[in-house]
Amino acid sequence: MAGQANSRDVVQRPDGTWAVTRPGSERALHTAATQAEAVERARELLHRDGGGELRVHGTDGKVRDQRTIAPGNDPTPPKG
């Protein structure tokens, strides 16, 4: 789905750490000791990758917050 290409989820792992993942992917892009650290890293990744949706899941696995992250300034924008 095109709308999910630039989405990231912050989810708690079984060991208690927090992971930044792409929707439908089990492999973590980043792991952190706290949810706040994982949210900040996910925000940075989305900002760098052109913006998108950030979904923060609670400890119960349900989405508890959803944010739209604006794209960052591309240092090499396409010509024309």
8 phi and psi angles, rounded to 5 deg = -135, 145
- The pTM for the full model equals 0.82
All residue ranges of the chain with pLDDT < 70 are 1-5, 74-80
Report pLDDT digits (tens) over 46-67: 999 999 999 999 999 999 999 9
Q: Residue 2: its pLDDT value, please?
A: 42
Closest by alpha carbon to 7, among 68, 73, 72?
A: 68
